[in-house]
Structure 1
């Protein structure tokens, strides 16, 4: 029965966030204008800039920011107990993620669709832009390199997910063509979901695997290369061809998945095996403060979301008033997924007794996406009676598709960053979309295979930096929004307070990691961690200087 309390607490909080808090932010703080001409209309090129139905855009935005992170983060963070995880997901979604994602989308739309890094020049200054974009590029490099590994591992661990994962691409291509020709969106959504779930059944019956060795590479390495070839092509196609319909149909799949998971809670009323607060942690285990707040990023607040909001989503925004629906409701979708993940990895569906749960969560980091799939599949089986094999394939496919859409968008976003560098620094060749894409993918593959050897898992080497770096980026995004609001003469505390909290916890976590890397003599991670920490401090100092100068100038004007 405890699971019902978790679900109710989260739903009540997020309902308040959508109907009350987000409306207040939209009308009183960001002051959305229905008549504002968005970049999608101003620069409509049918490739990257394309006015899009808000429901379709929500699907793209949500599945791009979600990936596997709102599953993996909460599944790991329950190690400290389910209460801290539930509270951070609920509070973080309502007061942090929603404001952050919504704000980055609004700010980018107001600055001709520029990325949050590029527009920081207009808000704060050139030095901030250069520093900001270094952190953004590092985050994208980590995400793309690691998600390639995550998907490859999922294909190898769950071969039944291969057919539905690739079938989703074909379904999306067809939906994109039909939408372009004016077919009914609702009908296409229903048919697309039916086709996707039919492929899930086929996949559970006909699993597919690559040979253990092919072209002198392991199956894992070959999957990584195939995924980057696909992502390169997908990132250069017009958004309406694949990106929008694929992400939209995956968003519909999420609704079905959430319906099954939340419905399973109501039907089976599972108890919770995990402790409210874990008092049986092993000696030397990481402390809840501050690591909880960088372990659960997506599902509470995440810097990567700001890159998506200001990268792809802002270029497709039909009306400025759609920013609330796309940005804030996208954050609520993620929070809902994170919340049910906590239930799946905390309940009796995963471990029948507290003793068994402690065996699974013996150490920090031993759980993850696999734990969610195992617990969630059993929960669906207990609640709905669905065969465990199909339930497992369904959830594994959901994880793979989310990771795949994030990788699609991540490579496209990396291409945007490189093209922006070409504009800023006058490098004509970087402005070319094909060249920029090749540079982006080459960087990812160099990290994957250069640092990771023939297995292609090099991204995992710098992944320990992702949590703190990603959250520092979220703090920097909230800082840019705060300066922008101060310059507009609007209340900035709704972004400043979250910014201060996120910056303190993420820099604290980065310092803890720095000590670990130093003691381990991992000089690569020490160097990158120091670069990120110094960059964040310089951006904060630059912002304080700009705010002080702005207020001083205004004071002089008012006196005169």
Structure 2
């Protein structure tokens, strides 16, 4: 099959989802109102609560939720064939991810910017909330530790990405000053920022930075890991407008340009999909497609991490409630487009089926490397950009996205640590909570040795934990909507499916960890499974109670929302 057909169909489905389905959600389900006073105005503090232009906030939200996961998940899952991955990414983006991200953003905005963990206490119960916080903490620990390892590996394997990776920080700080201090026109700032970023990519491609094998007594990978965590800790306590927002915004523009190059090259070259639609000859040891496909591809279809970002940082910066549709739903569409690009790059970026099978020789193979190499080959063939520069562009894209997710993740994990401390009656300041996050993440990362490989120890549980969290977030939305007597089927159907496949996957992994004698993952799997089942029961009770209680109507339930788009001005 020609990859151009896949690209056109996939893009058309996601655009239609935003234009049609998200409009229905905004008007009939969440009833977004431009007149609602958002937490960014009510609680404005210039640090975390900052009213933000929806395009800049979209850049922050999109790049924070994307990271490397929408590349890694699809790039691994194509081992079962490109068609199952394609269907889950496209349908998941339209009916699952967009609704989940928009909904969690709306829920937090309607509750003064509270996180999903805090909302669980109000809508599910105190016991469920404590277990919910455990799941969120473990998920953020996995993301921060694993992404540090992934970024460090890319900086070592692709030294041409070093200069643009760190140079982008300088560009971001200058953009923040230009927007908020100098009040420059946003389109002008955007053009200048993108030009500067791509100039850094060209410079990096010409001047690769290769570290010696040992730096300050650490391996090159370990040195980059420590530097990344120090950077993330500093970035996580700065006011969001100084670095977080402008960095994520310019990275979002850079990613869309990179995707434009990839999809443009597909339009010109129209490479054939060399991988099978359904792979009936999977390597020995490959698990079954059901349910593992649906937890291997998390980001890019639906991801619980998105709800943590929506309620942790994005909700505190939303200027108007009606902006939630663009920031939340269209943010999920952007990630879906990245996941679709990863599928095409890793199945049409090889010359022959034999070349593809040589890379996908075992489950878990492929990943970012297959995306960078396959995508680089397509861009080189279609646009004539040298293969090394094409690879640098895609590698830089992957690094920048993983880094933005990581610095947002450290900020979010600090919030969770402070919430957990409040549960036990202790109040932690920003510096202490950040230090705790740094110590825990570094301890896990270096727990298996000085090479930092410990950061990947608990990664096998990421997919299932992430999807469990998505299901629990949907449970909160279902309770909220049931109380307001709003339509709940758009939430309940994905809720049941996601919880089923994720609990099923946890049980399967439980047997695998037991057979392998992996006691750390076995214990964590049991903890997550118990927490999930407990919160599911609590959610079912809360949902039934909400169905029987008097309706919790507010002003929006008495009137039609303003504007045909569920708000104003989109």
- Asked if Structure 1 and Structure 2 have the same fold, meaning a TM-score greater than 0.5 normalized by the shorter chain, the answer is yes
Q: Name the residue aligned to 1:108.
A: 108
Match of 2:564?
none
Question: In the alignment, which residue of structure 1 is the partner of 2:131?
Answer: 131
State which of 501, 504, 511 in structure 2 corresponds to 1:508.
504
Matched position secondary structure for 1:52: coil
Query: What residue is the counterpart of 2:79 in the other structure?
Result: 79
Residue of structure 2 equivalent to 1:488: 484
Paired residue for 2:252?
A: 251
Alignment of 1:346-425 (within 5 A): 346-347=347-348, 350-425=349-424
1:36 aligns with 2:36: yes
Decide which of 458, 462, 466 is 1:466's aligned counterpart. 462
1:500-539 alignment runs, 5 A limit: 500-539=496-535
Distance in 1 between residues matched to 2:466 and 2:371, nearest whole Å: 23
Residue in 2 that maps onto 1:558: none
Separation (CA, whole Å) in 2 of partners of 1:420 and 1:504: 29
Tell me the residue number matched to 1:326: 327
Alignment partners' CA distance in 1, 2:284 and 2:178: 58
What's 1:339 paired with? 340
Cα distance, 1:554 vs structure 2:
4.2
1-structure distance, mates of 2:267, 2:550: 57
Equivalent in the alignment of 2:442: 445
DSSP-derived class of the 1:454 partner: coil
Alignment partners' CA distance in 2, 1:250 and 1:155 = 17
Query: Structure 1 residue 193 and structure 2 residue 194: aligned?
Result: yes
What residue in structure 1 maps to residue 431 of structure 2? 434
The residue aligned with 1:547 is 543
- 8 Å contact kept, 2:478–2:543: no
| More moved, 7-16 vs 336-345 | 7-16
> In the alignment, what sits opposite 1:53?
53
Decide whether the 8 Å contact of 2:80 with 2:278 is kept in 1.
yes
Per the TM alignment, residue 553 of structure 1 is displaced from its structure 2 partner at its CA by 4.0
Indicate the SS of the match to 2:457: helix
Q: How does 1:136-285 map to 2 (within 5 A)?
A: 136-180=136-180, 181-285=182-286
Residue 360 (structure 1) shift: 1.8
SS at 1:421's partner residue? helix
Q: Structure 2 CA distance, aligned partners of 1:67 and 1:356? A: 27
Q: Residue 40 of structure 2 contacts residue 50 of structure 2 at CA under 8 Å; is this kept in 1?
A: yes
Q: How far off its partner does 1:264 sit?
A: 0.3
**Residues 284 and 362, structure 2, Cα contact 8 Å, conserved in 1:** no
Q: Which moves more between the two structures, 399-408 or 454-463?
A: 454-463
CA contact (8 A) 2:205 2:389 kept: yes
Moved more, 214-223 or 415-424: 415-424
Range 207-216 or range 261-270, more displaced: 207-216
3-state SS of paired residue (1:277): coil
Q: Select 1:454's aligned residue among 450, 455, 472.
A: 450
2:23 match: 23
Distance 1:257 1:107 in 2: 33
Query: Residue in 1 aligned with 2:558?
Result: none
- Structure-2 separation of matches of 1:142 and 1:91: 26
The residue that corresponds to 1:96 in the other structure is: 96
Please tell me whether the aligned partners of residues 346 and 374 of structure 2 are also in contact (alpha carbons under 8 angstroms).
yes
1:11 shift after superposition: 1.4
- 8 A Cα contact 2:479 2:546, kept in partner: no
Q: Distance in 2 between matches of 1:516 and 1:255?
A: 39
Distance in 2 between the 1:100 and 1:399 partners? 24
Moved over 4 A (4+): none
Task: Report the Cα distance in structure 2 between the residues aligned to 1:207 and 1:466, rounded to whole angstroms.
Answer: 32
Structure 1 residue 426: deviation in Å? 2.7
**Offset, 1:547:** 2.4
What do residues 420-479 of structure 1 show as CA deviations (whole Å, max 9, x unaligned)? 234443312x1x111111111111011111x22211221211111111111111111111
Q: Tell me by how many angstroms 1:215 deviates.
A: 2.3
Distance in 2, matches of 1:19 and 1:286, equals 37
- Taking structure 2 as the reference length, the TM-score comes to 0.95
Note the aligned Cα RMSD (angstroms). 1.1
Unaligned runs of 5+ in 2: 552-570
Q: Mapping of 1:292-331 within 5 angstroms?
A: 292-331=293-332
Give the 3-state SS of the residue equivalent to 1:320 in structure 2. coil
- How far is 1:351 from its partner? 2.0
Contact 2:59–2:249 (8 Å) recurs in 1: yes
Supply the distance in 2 between the matched residues of 1:178 and 1:213 (Cα, whole angstroms): 39
CA distance in 2, matches of 1:25, 1:179: 32
3-state secondary structure, aligned to 1:339: helix
CA offsets 1:141-172 (integer angstroms, 9 cap, x no match): 00001111001000100001000000000000
Deviations 1:479-532 (A, max 9, x none): 111111111111111111001101111111111111010011111111110111
Counterparts of 1:551 and 1:59 in 2: how far apart (Å)? 38
Distance 1:197 1:247 in 2: 15
Q: Distance in 2 between matches of 1:43 and 1:552?
A: 34
Query: CA 1:367–1:267 in 2, change beyond 3 Å: closer, same or farther?
Result: same
Judging changes above 3 Å, is the alpha-carbon distance between structure 1 residues 545 and 379 closer, same or farther for their aligned structure 2 residues?
same
Unaligned runs of 5+ in 1: 556-560
What per-residue deviation string (whole Å, max 9, x for no partner) do you get for residues 165-215 of structure 1?
000000000000010121011001001010000000110111112221122
Contact kept, 8 Å, 2:149 with 2:453, in 1: the verdict is yes
Contact 2:82 2:278 in 1 (8 A): yes
Q: Is the 8 A contact 2:3 2:273 kept in 1?
A: yes
**1:127 CA displacement:** 1.1
